[in-house]
Amino acid sequence: MMNITVIVIETIILTVLFTAAVLFNSKNPVDTVYDMPQPIIDRCLELGLIDETKKAESRETRLKKLVAALIIALVLALILYFVNGTENFLQGFLASYIIWLVIDWYDCFVIDWGWVCHSRKIIIPGTEDLMDSYKDYKFHAIGSLKGMALGLPVCALVGLMVQIINWII
């Protein structure tokens, strides 16, 4: 049976880890440019600050994201099974999707809207005239909706892994 208190604690811990990862990865704002609106990406390409191989659509980036999703799904499934006591697909899916949604919304409203849209530290030199793009709330809201949709198959995989662990153990 799912334990809501444990899910809340896990969500808080994962949100803190997510925040730390974002802060670490944003030390050089150019490294996060592909999470920015297109005009900023285009300017960075023009300036030679980035190349196309790091784009979200690139084979390399998709492979990295797939491997990361598989690792995250496995770790989350193990935690949900052994710590939360989830025992089947539905419990694993629901618990992981609740966590996913909270982090997704935190990313949109706190990280993107609260920090990215207002921090001078993330402005890439040569893009200072693109402040409207940095403050594109709609872009980040659409990104959050995409994240919510992306979470469905990842969390379904978590649920499947929880079910498989339960069959094995």
Backbone angles phi, psi at 114, to 5 degrees: -80, -35
pLDDT of residue 54: 65
Which pTM was predicted? 0.88
Which of the two residues, 3 and 151, has the higher pLDDT score?
151
pLDDT at residue 26 in the model: 84
56 falls in which pLDDT band (50, 70, 90)? low
Instruction: State the average pLDDT over residues 138-154.
Output: 96
Contact between 76 and 107 under an 8 Å Cβ cutoff? The reply is: no
Most trustworthy range by pLDDT among 26-40, 61-75, 106-120: 106-120
Handedness of CA 17, 21, 27, 29 (dihedral sign): negative
| Confidence at residue 55, expressed as pLDDT on a 0 to 100 scale | 67
Which pLDDT belongs to residue 90? 97
Give DSSP secondary structure letters for 118-164: T-GGGPPTT-GGGHHHHT-HHHHHHHHHHHHHHHHHHHHHHHHHHHH
The per-residue pLDDT for range 2-32, each reduced to its tens digit, is 778 999 999 999 999 999 999 988 888 888 8
Q: Quick one: pLDDT at residue 37? A: 94
**pLDDT over threshold 90, residue 53:** no
- Rg over alpha carbons for the chain, rounded to the nearest Å, is 18
Q: How far apart (Å, rounded) are the C-alpha atoms in residues 127 and 114?
A: 20
pLDDT of residue 1: 64
Rounded Cα gap, residues 65 and 69, in angstroms: 6
Token duo for residue 39 = 């005009």
Average pLDDT of the chain to the nearest whole number:
91
Contact at 8 Å (CB) between 156 and 150? no
Average pLDDT in the 141-164 region?
A: 96
